[in-house]
Each structure stands twice: as structure tokens, then as C-alpha cells.
A and B are shown apart, each in its own frame.
Chain A
Amino acid sequence: MLETAARPTSELELGDIGRRKNPTRGLMTHAVLVIGSLITLYPLLWMLSASFKPQNEMFANDSLIPSHVTFDGYTSGWHGLSVGFDTFFMNSLVISALSILGNLIACSLTAFAFARLQFVGRRVLFGIMLLTMMLPFHVTLIPQYVLFFKLGWVNTILPLVVPKFLASDAFFIFLMVQFFRSIPFEIQESAMIDGCNPLQIYRHIIMPLSLPVMATAAIFTFIFTWSDFFGPLVYLSDVRKYTVALGLTTFVDSTGQSNWNGVFAMSCLALVPVFLLFVFFQRYLIEGIATSGLKR
């Protein structure tokens, strides 16, 4: 009962009812969740343990416990290449941060137009937007590469970041459209009657109500760009510009010696920022908005 004070209303209502009426239900739920968590976590625990195993146990030893713990993976991984992993982390961070900024701004503007404004050709343009999600990228890769090369953007982060500021990620436009459309129209209507222009509606009504979807979009953008591999592969040729995902693959050469310890150790480390970001933004998902309050 002590926890209920801190939590938003919806959790309180449903959780309380569940607990009061049927305590075993709560227990069952927990059991399911715990088992589910173990199954979900096992592969990751394996990876963590592999990062501490000596090389010749990598593939032969199945258990979660290494025969003796070694930190070689972490040291050799971090300093291993001619460029340290700290550079890779920095590069990845910059690209991801800029991508989040670009996506949040550009995609919300675009989604607002599709969801809440009327204009000629809205359906057609929406269809085109969806179509851009459907073309496999391997095929537009070469023409796009030539385009970026002519612009002089190759071997910079521009081909990776600028498209985000131009709302190239249709996934997020679509996501936000769905969310905006489920915000009750009456709010916008009363604002329009009061004489608000679209920009004001966007800034003061839609955006504040959309914190959950914006947080979601930020998390997803970070994850997609953090683990994005093909884009950096093609556009970041100089080793000093590599991202974490690219640096990881450099450890693995299928034709020769690979540093397996290093791969697993660095993969585990690479998970940390993403995980932390998720945990941080999670709060905005939790808080949610009680739209009922705003209606009155």
C-alpha cells in the first residue's frame, strides 16, 4: 500500500483491484514474469560470461561459469585496435544524439501535418511516406552513395545525420501520426475556436501531450543508430571515425584470428549506454499524462 502513493492513477486502480480480489493471481503473475525474465536473460548472461572466458573455452565450454576468469577481453578490446574504443563510443554518441534531435523535431512536424492538418493531396503524400519504408535499402545504396559522394559528404557523419533532420525515418512519422490521432480532437477544436494558429497548437497542445511517444521515439532512435551498421560501414571509411558497431566487427575476421574475448567484452560494454538511456527515459513513459485532468 505504501507504494501506491507514488504511482500514477491507472496503475493504482488496476493493480489494487487485482491484489485485493485475488492474491494468488499476483503470485502467478510474478511467477510468469520471473520465468519469462530468466528465459529472456539467459542469452545475455551467456554473453557476459563469455567475455570473461579464456579464448579456447569460447565455443567448447557451454556452461555459464568460466573455468577461470580473465579480464583480457576488456583490456585487449579497449586498446586493441590502432584507435581506442573510447573514440568509437564518442563517435557513436555524437551520431546518436544528433539523430535523436533530428528525428524528434522533423518527424513530429511532419506527423502533425499528416495527423492534424488538412491539405490537398494529404492521402497521396501519406501513401508515399509509407512507401519510402518499403524499399529494401541495399538497392538504393549505390545511387545514394554516388549522390553523397558528389556532395562531398562521404567519410563524414553527414549522410547518417542530415536525413534525420529531413524526416527520412518514416517509421517515426507513422508512429507519431498514430499517437497524435488518438489525442481527442476536442482539445484542438477549442484551441482553434480561441484563435490559435497551427504552430501554437503544435507547441502548446500536441507536444506536451505526446511525451510518451516522444520518449519512445528517442529511445528507438538511439537504439537504431547505436547498432546501425551498414550506414557507417559505407560512409565512414576512416578507422578513426568508426562507430561502436563497426569497431566490433573489426575484431572479427572470419579468415583469420579474431579476438573473441574482445568482441563479447565490448558488446557487453556497448549495451551499457543504451540500457542506461532506456532506464532514464523510462520515467517519462511511466509518468504518462492523465488526459482527464487536461480536459477539465
Chain B
Amino acid sequence: MTVRLDRRQFLATGAAAAAYLGTAGFGRADDIKLRMAWWGGQVRAQLTTKALQVYTQAHPGTSVDTEYLGWDDYWPRLSTETAGGNSPDVLQMDIEYLADYASRGVLLDLTPYVPSKLAVSDFDQPVLDNGKVDGKLYAISAGVNAVSLLYNATAYEEAGVTPPGHSTTWDEFAQNAAEFTKKTKRPGMYGSTDESGAEPVLETWLRQRGKQLYGTDGKLGYDESDVTDWFKMWADMRASGASPPADVQALDHGDVDTSLIAQGRSVLCFENSNEYIAFAGLIKGELAMAPYPKVGASGKGGLYIKPSQFFSVSSQSKLPDASVALVNFLLTDPAATAILGTERGIPSSAATRDKLRPKLDKAGALMLDYISSLGDLAGPLPPPNPPGGGEVTTALLKASQAVAFGASSPADSAASYISTAKDILSRAS
């Protein structure tokens, strides 16, 4: 019984789809139903819904069904839906997964829509390029950020230690951190976290030494000796008390709530600048921002201004033109950008930034000013991560934990990490 229904339903669905596809070309102005999915918390949900209401009121006959979730749950659902052929029309995308999705043909190529349907010509070019895979544009930046040190300025004052600034070197950083751990009266608080397993910090450090995470050929842009030096640097910081021991650091799972700064175990964290608001609410003290430490006093900053997230359109969408129009609205229409503000990051268009600056609150202004203050600490954007990049990120964390927990020496762990990473990349391509 179920089998018969299956076939009949399938045929019915197929017929309906064919009929729809046939008429889609005529662009029916009535009953356009779009689906949009994004990840984020309550604030983003409220702002985005508000912006979408402006759109639907301006375009009667169009409605947008929203599907939003937290980051962890967004991806399993998106990949399941996409695998099943039921991807949402407009979706939020991240650099971590962009190559995986784009290279497998499930994102719509947006290149033909620029600039007539996607008015992004005044977006910062490097940032636009970051949304390209194999030369084609698959994702448009919804906001930029840069890596930053978020630190508890109040705690530094209490302890009488200099906080990090725009020209701090790694050596100075390590020294100050060890000093902080000794001097602070806040129980169990360290002057730094242990970032030996964090890919963004490794990436910045590599760039300061003239290397990078991935080359344009999709292969690793660094080698064993780099990783050995990296692991050794952090081992020294653990020994001096600048960074916490392995079992304290392992409490941090990379989420806001598990972060050591939120738990009061560290005075700072290495984060993306647009996460300022999330952290500011959770600490006891005033939160301030500074760039990552540098390798040498006159050395490169190693940072870069990057899209915090993108908007993409699904290649499975039956309404590509309407979907692109919606994306265009959200990113370039003054009404939308005023509502969405800096919640997804600093707007990539200089014009939008200027319009927004006077209206921003203290936190928003701080983030925007931080990006502007970087100057030439920020360099060119790196090549995109190849497929399998996410798995390599996990491998780095595990390798660093092996060193931190004393299961392996820096050199051994570095060697096994590099060979694992190469294996992952070849498996994924």
C-alpha cells in the first residue's frame, strides 16, 4: 500500500515540478515563496526577520519562510536537506564549508548577476574575491571581521600589567601573560589561553613568517618545522604559567560559553572581532580589543580582513532570480542594512559603513573602529581552504592536545599532524 502511494505521489510531485519549471521562466509575480536559512542566535533572528518583513511588504505576493538554528545544528540540517534535493533558496554560508559546497555544484554561480542584479561593485574587492571558488562567485560577504584579542581591561588594571596593544610581539606577550598570572588576584585566572590547537591563530603566525595555511594549489602552505616551532612556543608558555595547563584549556570547546574568558579562567581570548558583543556580556569587567601579537617589532601583522559569513543561493532553487533579488536587498538596500547593522560583521561596502557609523552603539562603534585601525597590520586575503579543510582543523586540535597532555613531543606530534593533514586532503579531493 505504501509502495503504491509512493509511486503515485512521486509522479504527482514530478508533474508539479515540471509544470512549475515550465512557467518559472515567465516570472510569476504572484505567490513567490522563498525559503531562507541562517545560523545565529536570538538577536540575529529578530533583526533578520524584521528586515525580511520590509522586503515582503515592498513586494506583495512574495513571502519568505525562515529557518534558523544555532551553528552546530545548522550544518547537519543543511547538508541533509541539500543531499535530499530540498535545500533552502537563500542560505548563509561560511568560509569553512564554502569549498565543500561550491565545488560539488550545490551553490548557484552568482557571477552573471553582478553588477546588474547584485549591486556589489562598491564592496571591498579582496573581500568579494574571498567568496569565489575556481574563479566563480558563489557567496557574497554579509559582513567582515578580523581576528582580535578580546581582553578584560579592568582585570589588567587591577593587576598592574600592561595589556596587549597594536605593536606587541609574541615574546612581550608571553612575558606579560606570565606576569599577569602571578600578579592577578582573580582566582585561577591566567594571562593567556593555550592556542596551540587553534587554526586561525596558527594562520596569523604563519603569515607573519611569510608562510600561509594553504597554497593556491590547495596543498598545505607550511611544513613540519613550522609546526614544531609552533608547538614549542606554546609549551614554553605553559611552562612559564602564561598559558593554562592542558586540562584547563580542554574545558574550552571553541564555543562562547565554554571559552576560558567566560569561565573566568583567562583574561583574554583570541577571537573574531564581531564576537565582541557576545563576550562583553559574559565577563566581569570592561572588554577591549587589540590585534594579535607579532613575530617581530617591525614584522608583518599577519591579519586580514575577512568575511565573517556569506549569503549564497542554492543551485537547487526553483526561484533563482527571486532569491538573488532577496540577497541583493539584504546586502545593499539602505533599509535592510540599517536594520541588520553590524550584527553579522562590519558591512563590506564603504558607503554603507559611512552611513552606519553615526547610528552605531558603543559596541558597534568599537568593532568598526578596530577594523579601521588595523591599517597595514592587515594583509591580502589568503587562498580559500580546499575541501577537507574542516577535518584538518580538527586534526590540529588533536595534535596540540597530544603535546599539551604530555602524550607526545612537539616534534613527533608535528610530524604525525602533517602526514595526517596530507592524507585528509588527498582523501577529500
The verdict on B420 contacting chain A, using a C-beta distance below 8 Å, is no
In the complex, which residues 48-87 of chain B have their Cβ closer than 8 Å to any Cβ of chain A?
49, 65-73, 76-77, 80-81, 83-86
B73/A233 in contact, CB under 8 A: yes
The verdict on B46 contacting chain A, using a C-beta distance below 8 Å, is yes
The verdict on B281 contacting chain A, using a C-beta distance below 8 Å, is yes
B281/A254 in contact, CB under 8 A: no
Contacts of A239 in B (CB 8 A): 66-68
The verdict on A60 contacting chain B, using a C-beta distance below 8 Å, is yes
In the complex, which residues 256-296 of chain B have their Cβ closer than 8 Å to any Cβ of chain A?
256-257, 262-264, 274-275, 277-278, 281-284
A145/B282 in contact, CB under 8 A: no
The verdict on B415 contacting chain A, using a C-beta distance below 8 Å, is no
- State A152–B255 Cα separation when bound (angstroms): 36
Q: With both chains docked as a complex, state the minimum distance between the C-beta of B100 and any C-beta of chain A, in angstroms.
A: 16
Contacts of B262 in A (CB 8 A): 58-60
Q: Mark A231-263, 1 if CB is under 8 A from B, else 0.
A: 001100111000000100111111111111010
A252/B77 in contact, CB under 8 A: no
**If A58-B282, A252-B70 touch, does A150 touch B9 (CB 8 Å cutoff)?**
yes
Q: Mark A134-174, 1 if CB is under 8 A from B, else 0.
A: 00000001100111011110100000000000000000000
Q: With both chains docked as a complex, state the minimum distance between the C-beta of A241 and any C-beta of chain B, in angstroms.
A: 10
A256/B40 in contact, CB under 8 A: yes
A262/B81 in contact, CB under 8 A: no
A254/B67 in contact, CB under 8 A: no
Q: With both chains docked as a complex, state the minimum distance between the C-beta of A74 and any C-beta of chain B, in angstroms.
A: 14
Q: Mark A32-57, 1 if CB is under 8 A from B, else 0.
A: 00000000000000000000000110
Q: Mark A271-283, 1 if CB is under 8 A from B, else 0.
A: 0000000000000
Q: Mark A192-204, 1 if CB is under 8 A from B, else 0.
A: 0000000000000
Contacts of A76 in B (CB 8 A): 42
- State A147–B9 Cα separation when bound (angstroms): 11
- State A251–B44 Cα separation when bound (angstroms): 11
A145/B73 in contact, CB under 8 A: no
- Residue from the list B10, B72, B77, B85 in contact with A237, Cβ < 8 A: B77
A250/B69 in contact, CB under 8 A: yes
Contacts of A154 in B (CB 8 A): 84, 86
**Which of chain B's residues has its CB closest to A138's CB?**
B76
B88/A56 in contact, CB under 8 A: no
- State A156–B135 Cα separation when bound (angstroms): 39
A254/B263 in contact, CB under 8 A: no
- State A151–B8 Cα separation when bound (angstroms): 9
B80/A142 in contact, CB under 8 A: yes
- Interface contacts (Cβ under 8 Å), in number, total 141
In the complex, which residues 56-108 of chain A have their Cβ closer than 8 Å to any Cβ of chain B?
56, 58-60, 76, 80-82
- State A149–B13 Cα separation when bound (angstroms): 10
What is the interface residue range for chain A against chain B? Answer: 35 or more
- Residue from the list B45, B76, B281 in contact with A250, Cβ < 8 A: B45
Contacts of B283 in A (CB 8 A): 56
The verdict on B41 contacting chain A, using a C-beta distance below 8 Å, is yes
Q: With both chains docked as a complex, state the minimum distance between the C-beta of B314 and any C-beta of chain A, in angstroms.
A: 13
Contacts of B76 in A (CB 8 A): 233-234
- State A255–B46 Cα separation when bound (angstroms): 17
- State A149–B80 Cα separation when bound (angstroms): 11
Q: With both chains docked as a complex, state the minimum distance between the C-beta of A76 and any C-beta of chain B, in angstroms.
A: 8
A254/B72 in contact, CB under 8 A: yes
- Residue from the list A81, A141, A149, A254 in contact with B86, Cβ < 8 A: A149
Q: With both chains docked as a complex, state the minimum distance between the C-beta of B363 and any C-beta of chain A, in angstroms.
A: 11
Contacts of A246 in B (CB 8 A): 69
A150/B10 in contact, CB under 8 A: yes
B70/A150 in contact, CB under 8 A: no
B80/A251 in contact, CB under 8 A: no
Contacts of A55 in B (CB 8 A): 281-282
**Which of chain A's residues has its CB closest to B72's CB?**
A254
The verdict on B232 contacting chain A, using a C-beta distance below 8 Å, is no
The verdict on B19 contacting chain A, using a C-beta distance below 8 Å, is no
- State A172–B375 Cα separation when bound (angstroms): 65
B66/A249 in contact, CB under 8 A: no
- Residue from the list A59, A150, A249 in contact with B257, Cβ < 8 A: A59
Q: With both chains docked as a complex, state the minimum distance between the C-beta of B190 and any C-beta of chain A, in angstroms.
A: 15
- State A254–B81 Cα separation when bound (angstroms): 22
Contacts of A56 in B (CB 8 A): 281-284
**If A59-B257, A151-B6, A254-B72 touch, does A262 touch B42 (CB 8 Å cutoff)?**
yes
B257/A258 in contact, CB under 8 A: yes
- State A150–B2 Cα separation when bound (angstroms): 12
Q: With both chains docked as a complex, state the minimum distance between the C-beta of A121 and any C-beta of chain B, in angstroms.
A: 21
B83/A145 in contact, CB under 8 A: yes
Q: With both chains docked as a complex, state the minimum distance between the C-beta of A141 and any C-beta of chain B, in angstroms.
A: 6
Q: With both chains docked as a complex, state the minimum distance between the C-beta of A116 and any C-beta of chain B, in angstroms.
A: 26
B84/A254 in contact, CB under 8 A: no
**If A56-B282, A82-B46 touch, does A254 touch B68 (CB 8 Å cutoff)?**
no
22 A-B pairs with CB atoms under 8 Å apart are A56-B284, A58-B257, A59-B263, A60-B262, A60-B284, A82-B45, A142-B80, A145-B83, A145-B84, A146-B84, A150-B10, A152-B13, A154-B86, A234-B80, A237-B67, A237-B81, A249-B73, A250-B69, A250-B70, A255-B39, A256-B274, A260-B257
A-B pairs with the 9 shortest C-beta distances? Answer: A254-B255, A253-B41, A257-B278, A253-B70, A82-B49, A145-B84, A60-B264, A255-B71, A237-B67
Q: Given A60-B262, A145-B84, A150-B6, 9 more contacts at CB 8 Å? A: A56-B281, A76-B42, A81-B42, A82-B66, A141-B80, A145-B80, A151-B10, A237-B81, A252-B257
Residues of B within 8 A of A (CB): 5-6, 9-10, 12-13, 35, 37, 39-46, 49, 65-73, 76-77, 80-81, 83-86, 88, 254-257, 262-264, 274-275, 277-278, 281-284
